[in-house]
Structure 1
């Protein structure tokens, strides 16, 4: 195998031993290996143990340096089919090929986990526009109360899959927050059109519709939606808070 010393060392650490600590040691010894090693350490070590600080350090360095795994000779030679499973929003997990966009989205999730929503937004706004990026961005905009941007981002979205259903629920929340409960209900009608969608997403949509009904003073209808969620999952995040908004029965 006529490969450079660093490449042999990284191959041994990452492919043969599958040892994140060994990968880091190679990076410390061989400057040529550092970008590949940073990505590999993230995938093999930092992400699996949810070491958010280390993910931010490694992927932040790669992102700022313009790194693209698709142009990384080591990655394309030895791990051409590698990918990344990433939860871009509650209930939305996607399998991404290793590209610069994947690095950016993973970095943004780490920033968000650390509470740095502004940094997360800055990164996602730089990735190639896609449904996955829109899901991440819609959630980040909503966290900041940037409702008009959520509305603009979700214009024209229909319920084609789990990701677009999530976007419709975010759109409904934005429309409600900006004083358009009728339009919010239309978005939720589309979101809830298909009963085959995961229960977690349906429950999220029902809770949002309950808030919309409350905004219209339709308390009985709000209670009905919340009781549907209560009957299926009494511990669903946000349900207790929504129930507390109901008037005494």
Structure 2
């Protein structure tokens, strides 16, 4: 069985300790996290900051250890046009303290050369703290196609940087299993698994990606074929935010249990 996790946007700001228990109760081994809450305010969860609250960090670490859960991916380490990634050193210290295996990044800086240099610095900073780095490809972003990601990996060099395959982003960008195999399985470091339709379901791509994805098998993506390309030791995180269900009163366990069951069935084919 592959390593299965739950991505933080699937739970809409559920407090971190509760998130750990949810993942464990679902039989998953991993979660992703960000240092500040990314809430759906209509659900009423309290805001939190792992950056500012040392007590919460201690509670989270204790829960992770108690339930046998690891942070497979730390999010929020983004490349910005008017900022230097060296300023993220303190945040990297925190996620390393929490035991994160990898950090994930994307770039909002359209300057490709600067982005690549910043990525190299970020990868080095993470490596110094015992963490790998993944870069997420997404439509209309600086890392918007496999060729750019491959060039970035070559620019950085070494084995510290790999690709996060978000199945929605990958297929909606026009790529499939063939292109993923050509990209190279050895360059894949993480998978964010969700399903969706081939054509947009909402007018805003960002809104759809952040709030309305489908459980594996409920859409039209070639998930089994994509996963066939992915090395068996790569963590697969379920990234299935379902705002409509959440706002109708369906809780996180009830929303995510069918997703976990569908993912397990998919991963054991």
TM-score, length-scaled by structure 2: 0.27
Structure ranking higher on relative contact order (CA contacts 8 Å, 6+ apart) = 2
Structure with higher Rg: it is 1
TM-score relative to the length of structure 1: 0.28
